[in-house]
Amino acid sequence: MTPAGEEEKETGRLEAFSDGVFAIAMTLLVLDLKVPKSGEVDSGGLLAALFGQWPMLIAYLASFATILVMWVNHHRMLRHIRHTNDTFLYLNGLLLLLVTFVPFPTALVAAHLRDSHARTAAAIYAGTYEALALVLNLMWSYAAKGHRLLGSQVNAAQVHAITRQYRTGPTLYLIAFGLAFLSPEASFGFCLLLAVDWAFTGSLTRLFGEPRLQM
């Protein structure tokens, strides 16, 4: 009953709203960087006090880059999607819930990476990204199955390329999740590496034979 034109506009709104959530979640991360007060700075000076916050600085960088990559993936997916329905909206809502949640595990891993709770914190951090990657895959599988929500101009080769590319995320974050129990630092470092690599260079994922993300 709705002409194609109106449905495209619906997708536009879904994207604009999702973009807002992505942008705000990325910007809120800075609120966890704490300015050391004069009394808290010892003889090493301010620079040393700031470097003492390195887990938070690195977690900020890793989370920023990861949300950026998720945003690029989200847009890439929605460029191929013309129709929406309830189930797709449900999955998108779940993705946004996880995106807004990211600042919490970020602060958690930064606070506990150097104490006895490092394993739990690193596992929750990697687990959040595993969940994000899984929901992104679910959204794409659902939309692409039988060409359900795709535009008519999307061909099978494009669908296959995206499907293959998306598949690496859950596998790699599962490794990061497992690593958390062996070495929290290694797990956290692996998450950072994945985010920076995906966002910026793409060389690691090319080892898996995947093409670079194109927005």
3-state helix/strand/coil string of 10-41: HHHHHHHHHHHHHHHHHHHHHHHCCCCCHHHC
Distance CA 205, CA 197 (A): 8
**Closest distance to its own copies from the beta carbon of 172 (Å):** 19
Cβ proximity to its own copies: between 122 and 172 the closer is: 122
CB of 8 or CB of 163, closer to its own copies: 8
Tokens 């929901």 appear where?
135
CA dist., res. 11 & res. 131, Å (int): 23
Nearer to its own copies, 53 or 141 (CB): 53
**53 backbone dihedrals φ, ψ, rounded to 5°:** -90, 15
Q: How far is CA 126 from the centre of its chain?
A: 10
Quick check: 203 binds its own copies (CB under 8 A)? Answer: no
Nearest to its own copies of 153, 209 (CB atom): 153
The least distance separating its own copies from the CB of residue 142, rounded to whole angstroms, comes to: 14
Q: Site residues for its own copies, window 120-179 (CB under 8 A)?
A: 120-121, 124
Interacting residues with its own copies between 41 and 100 (CB under 8 A): 41, 45-47, 50, 60-61, 64-65, 68, 71-72, 75, 84-86, 89-90, 93, 96-97, 100
- Distance from C-alpha of 175 to C-alpha of 193, rounded to nearest angstrom: 13
Cα distance between residue 185 and residue 188, in whole Å: 5
**20 is a contact residue toward its own copies (CB under 8 A):** yes
Report DSSP letters for 175-204, one per residue.
Answer: HHHHHHHH-HHHHHHHHHHHHHIIIII-HH
Question: Least distance in Å: CB of 163 to its own copies?
Answer: 19
Binding site for its own copies (CB under 8 A): 10, 13-17, 19-31, 33, 35, 37-38, 41, 45-47, 50, 60-61, 64-65, 68, 71-72, 75, 84-86, 89-90, 93, 96-97, 100-101, 103-104, 107-108, 111-112, 115, 117, 120-121, 124, 199-202, 212-215
